[in-house]
Structure 1
Amino acid sequence: MSRFRFIPAPLIMAMAVALAFAPVVHAQVISAATPSIEIRIAAQPLAQALDALARQSRLDLMVQPSLVAGKTAPAVTGRMTPRDALERLLAGSGLAAEIEGTAVTVRPRGPGQAAEQTMAPVTVSAAPMVSATTEGSGAYTTRAVTIGKGEQALKDIPQSVSVVTRQLLDEQNLTTVYDTLASTTGMTIQQSPQGGKYIYARGFDLTTVQYDGVPLNRGMYGRASNFSAGTAIYDRVEVLRGAAGLLQGAGNPGGAVNLVRKRPLADNATTVTAKAGSWDSYGLQLDASRVLNDAGTLRGRVVADYEDKHSFIDYVERRSPTLFATLEYDLSPQTQVNVALSSEQVKGLPFLNGLPRYSNARDLDLPRSTFLGAKWNRQDNANRGAYLDLSHHFNDDWTLKVSSAYVKEKNDMKYAGSGLAINPLTNRGALRASTTVAENELSGIDANITGKFDALGRQHEVVFGVNHARATARTVYGVSSNYHTFDINNFSADFPEPTDAFINSNLREARVGKSRETGA
């Protein structure tokens, strides 16, 4: 029978003698080979815990009451050897156990005597990062980018790279591509007189923008940039500063920008976001992702976003509805195809020319809310996109990817804005009336194989690829200078709207630009 005894100190020697002459009995011998048993001991005083262990493991335990008085033992539960259970109960108590056969004597731990402890099994699980996707990570950067061919670790790119993650887009309320780039190191944004903005990287005009790695030429505008796009449909914006010819072909050496679309999620998820801000700015966004079959191989996602923004400048407003839908299908565990459609629109009353100064360069000291335009100013920009990509993983080292993008933009603007400095003697100035009708069509395809191999004691990476891109821009631009004169101290935005024919009769430009680029 197992038993637990408290023994006065003088009796320890007598007990040892008695044990030496005790008859031989069949007993459990504790050794490294002792099989594990089920132990269930709750957290409690150490004396009671040792008693429970003696009963559950059929041991003879001997200990002085003073050694365990006031000490507690942790809970010990699970399948383990009696030796392991005993060491866990005595951990941190300053006591050690001497084991011989079934007899266990508990004594104070000697100087330099290390505790023999075996930790409970620890299981660590985590979802591996298998892509450069930032959504849901809560991170302000990512381990890799796709601005080149394939996925590359940031540490392997010998140039300056910034990644504006989904977390940053949301926290900083970066709702347009221009806002995003303006917040990025090394990038400069300048207003265009046709509604869009010019993008500069390290002082160089950046005329190419990538869509999921497919470079499209945005330098084919008839007169000035009218590109406008929101960020609701993107997972991240990747920005590389420096020469990028190998990544996207001809262009200035300022850098490259890659807009990376959102993809369907592996699990069902729905997000509804309401937005409100200064100057009567409101917005609502619905983002829903669904798994569409039992096998989980077909997934879909829809993003609907609407913003209605006014401004600190009188009359100025902007409405931008966005729709985005994408489907993704796993043809096999190694092959995946994705298709997406997008529609973005910007409507509103713009104010593009800004405020003039006196002809002697003196400031007019006007309130920041001053609007020097017409109530009939209007802007209607529309972007429509279609995207398709196919990726196949031959193994862990080699991947084939084929991506294509098609974007069509339409721009219809008519507005009045300041065209002359103010005469300091008469306080009079003049507005010019302008009209722009433009259509841009961009398309591109990129196919590449990326892989790595070991040779000469090192690992090497290799890329084989071809790409082709086309761009066509058609623009009709008209302007009538000095259309409306005004007194700066008594300005009214309510004056007659001219016809397009009247504006074009003063100055009309009709331009068509085309580009075609093929690379290998």
Structure 2
Amino acid sequence: MKDRSIPRPPLRKRSCVSAVSMLLLGGLVVTEGLLIPQVQAQTADRQIQFSINPAPLDQALGQFGRQAAIALSTNASLTAGKTSQGLKGQYSVAEGLAHILAGSGYSAVQQANGAYLLVPQVAGALELGATSINASALGSTTENTGSYATGAMQTATKLSMSQRETPQAVTVITRQRMDDQDMRNLDDVVQATPGLRMAAARPANSEYFSRGFPITNLMFDGLPTTYNADWVAAADMAPYDRVEIVRGATGLMQGAGNPSAAINMVRKRPTHDFQGSISAGTGSWDNYRSELDLSGPLNDSGSLRGRFVGAYQDKDGFQDYAGRERGVFYVISEFDLNDSTTLTVGASDQNDNNNINWGGLPVNPDGSHVNFSRSKTFGYTWSHQDIDNKTVFAELDHRFANDWRGHVSASKNWSDFKLTGAVLEHYATYQQRVFNQKRNYDQSTYDAYVSGPFNLFDRQHELVVGASKRQLKTSGKGGNMFIPVADIINFDPHSVPKPYVPDSYNLSENIDQEGLYVTTRWSISDPLKVILG
């Protein structure tokens, strides 16, 4: 019969006693001051001041463990008869152990619990020197990275921040994604961007929306331009490296903007090494497209670099006599004036020629279908909508000491719009309303800023100070007239020669904007940043 009057030790005490017994029986030497693994991990890379004289290896290891405040385990038979040269100076734990054990034939390996265990070195193993591992992180340029993300963007605040650090809803459509998903113009990019919506403003023009508001400003390399969906064609994507989209108000970048979104198209830049590509494709409805892209140094030193991008697309539609033609060219050069200053100049032209139907197919008076073919058109062969967008731009970038930067940029854009079309209408009888419209845009944008880090309260912060100016001059004129249509069943697009449509209205508009801006990002603590502007 068991004596239940003698209490059994609690389970936790028994475990501790057993663990100590195992250490002693195994001939293990354990340093004083055992630390929990979390603390040991924190001290692994910390520089520690050691003062250990030459001594038998087991004694030297004991002193090392106490001074480094780590757990170090070894078998007494391993250190018997071995000595250590000692250790003087500041070392990390790993460096110190390597010096203490030099020539002993043993090394210390850190275990999962943070403690160190002495093990024999593998015979014939080579001891390698310091190894440097260099990795190229993502920058702002996305071309040739194969990535669907960018390392930094400036569209929201002009501060160079990652998408994660940007305190707004942002999306970046990279060059790789545009190529993979065959995004050929801004319409394709908008439709692939979460939170953005596209609608047809005219048969060959698109209107963009975000958060219920129209997007009325487009940006090119951070410089804003006025976008009118009635008169400006969707930009071709061949000259661009990426498109950065910020949903919500961006008054700092666009001045008197709106709460919809900012779409910033960032141009391709010349490369330091030569590269070139040519592509061609075809699709349904006689859709043909070709592109040429050449880039590289223009002198032996590489201080002068250039790039040319050209694209041509011609396609028909499922409707008779409907078609669209587009030609694009883009040239840019970079001049390294010295080691710290770079001058950039460039120009682009996009010419769109469209023959499109401005109205749908009519129905019978009772609303029933007339059973027209889907290829039927009620436009004329002389109907057209031509848009020519020309741009010249220049930038001067200077890199000061202490990572400060000065940047001055200017851009001028001309957009010419010409339209002659007809739309079928029915009142008492069928008739064609023929209209003639012309519109000219002349836009100039200027921007200058300095940016860089500064130290305050023992922390590093960032600052951007700049000024901008925008000028928009637009003029337009047009008119309309009516042509009766006797037979819609046998309508012939060749039946009427191009009529003369007198101008019945003229309009003009001038808009000037000037602004000063300041943006700063304060590093309150490592995980907390505050942006003010």
How high is the TM-score relative to the length of structure 1? Answer: 0.70
Tell me if structure 2 keeps the 8 A contact 1:188–1:203.
no
Name the CA distance, whole Å, in 2 between partners of 1:458 and 1:113. Answer: 42
Partner of 2:440: 439
* Residue in structure 2 matched with residue 191 of structure 1 by the alignment: 200
Cα pair 2:201 2:207 within 8 Å, conserved: yes
Match of 2:209 in 1: 200
Q: SS where residue 329 of structure 1 aligns? A: strand
- The reply to whether residue 136 of structure 1 matches residue 144 of structure 2 is yes
Q: CA deviation at 1:225?
A: 2.9
Match for residue 504 of structure 1?
Answer: 502
Q: Which residue of 1 aligns with 2:485?
A: 485
Aligned to 1:249: 255
CA contact (8 A) 2:422 2:433 kept: yes
Q: What CA distance in whole angstroms lies between the structure 2 residues aligned with 1:489 and 1:119?
A: 91
Contact 2:382–2:498 (8 Å) recurs in 1: no
Q: Aligned-pair distance for 1:273?
A: 0.9
Counterpart of 1:135 in 2: which secondary structure? coil
2:182 is matched with: 173
Describe the superposition over 1:29-78 as per-residue Cα deviations: whole angstroms up to 9, x where unpaired.
xxx9xxxxxxxxxxxxxxxxxxxxxxxxxxxxxxxxxxxxxxxxxxxxxx
Cα distance between partner residues in 2 of 1:355 and 1:180: 30
Q: Distance in 2 between matches of 1:361 and 1:150?
A: 58
Separation in 2, partners of 1:366, 1:179: 30
The CA distance in 2 between the partners of 1:358 and 1:245, in whole Å, is 51
Asked if structure 1 preserves the Cα contact closer than 8 Å seen for 2:184 and 2:237, the reply is yes
Candidates 402, 411, 416, aligned match of 2:417: 411
Query: Greater CA deviation, 334-343 or 356-365?
Result: 356-365
- Hey, what's the Cα distance between the residues in 2 that align with 1:244 and 1:359? 50
Structure 1 partner of 2:279: 273
Q: Cα deviation per residue 1:150-188 (whole Å; 9 max; x = unaligned)?
A: 532212211111111111222222222223223222222
Task: Classify 1:414/1:451 alpha carbon distance in 2 versus 1 (closer, same or farther; 3 Å).
Answer: same
Q: Deviations over 1:240-280 (max 9, x none)?
A: 10011112110221011111111101100111111211111
For the pair 1:263 / 2:269, whether they are aligned, the reply is yes
Q: Within 5 Å, give how 1:326-405 maps onto structure 2.
A: 326-355=332-361, 367-395=373-401, 397-405=403-411
The two structures, once aligned, show a CA RMSD in angstroms of 2.9
What CA distance in whole angstroms lies between the structure 2 residues aligned with 1:375 and 1:119?
81
Q: Does 1:471 align with 2:453?
A: no
Contact 2:105 2:120 (8 Å CA) reproduced: no
1:113/1:449 Cα in 2 relative to 1: closer, same or farther (>3 Å)?
A: closer
Identify the residue that residue 519 of structure 2 maps to in structure 1: none
The 3-state SS of whatever aligns with 1:323 is strand
Match of 2:455 in 1: 454
Matched ranges for 1:13-412 at <5 A = 114=119, 116=121, 120=128, 122=131, 124-129=133-138, 131-147=139-155, 148-193=157-202, 195-219=204-228, 224-355=230-361, 367-395=373-401, 397-412=403-418
Q: Unaligned 5+ residue runs, structure 2?
A: 1-56, 58-103, 107-116, 517-533
Paired letter, 1:475: G
- Which stretch of structure 1 is more off in the superposition, 410-419 or 398-407? 410-419
Once the 2 structures are TM-superposed, how far is the Cα of residue 396 of structure 1 from its aligned partner?
Answer: 5.2
1:93 is aligned to none
Q: Relative to structure 1, is the Cα distance of residues 432 and 330 closer, same or farther in structure 2, using a 3 angstrom cutoff?
A: same
Deviation by residue 1:299-341 (Cα, 9 ceiling, x = unmatched): 0111121111112232211111111111101122222111001
- Compared CA separation, residues 123 and 517, structure 1 to 2 (3 A): same
Paired letter, 2:508? V
* Alpha-carbon distance change, 150 to 99 in structure 1, aligned in 2, over 3 angstroms: closer
Higher relative contact order (CA 8 A, sep 6+): 1
Q: What is the CA–CA distance in structure 2 between the aligned matches of 1:420 and 1:457, rounded to whole Å?
A: 76
Count of aligned pairs between the two proteins: 400
Specify whether residues 304 and 124 from structure 1 end up closer, same or farther in structure 2 by C-alpha distance, changes over 3 A only: same
Aligned to 1:495: 495
For 1:369 and 1:432, the matched residues in 2 are separated by 21
After superposition, the Cα gap between the structure-2 partners of 1:458 and 1:379, relative to the gap in structure 1 and judged at 3 Å, is same
CA distance in 2 between counterparts of 1:144 and 1:99 reads 49
Distance 1:479 1:142, change over 3 A: same
User: Helix, strand or coil for the counterpart of 1:163?
Assistant: strand
Shift of 1:488: 5.0
Change (3 A) 1:246 1:230: same
Counterpart amino acid of 1:495?
A: S
Counterpart code for 1:189 = M
2:517 is equivalent to residue 518 of structure 1: no
CA contact (8 A) 1:269 1:288 kept: yes
Instruction: Give, in whole Å, the separation in 2 of the partners of 1:382 and 1:229.
Output: 11
Structure 1 gaps of 5+ residues are 1-31, 33-97, 101-111
| Identity between Structure 1 and Structure 2 (%) | 30
**SS of 2:337 mapped into structure 1:** strand
CA contact (8 A) 1:197 1:225 kept: no
With structure 2 as the length reference, what TM-score do the two structures score?
0.69
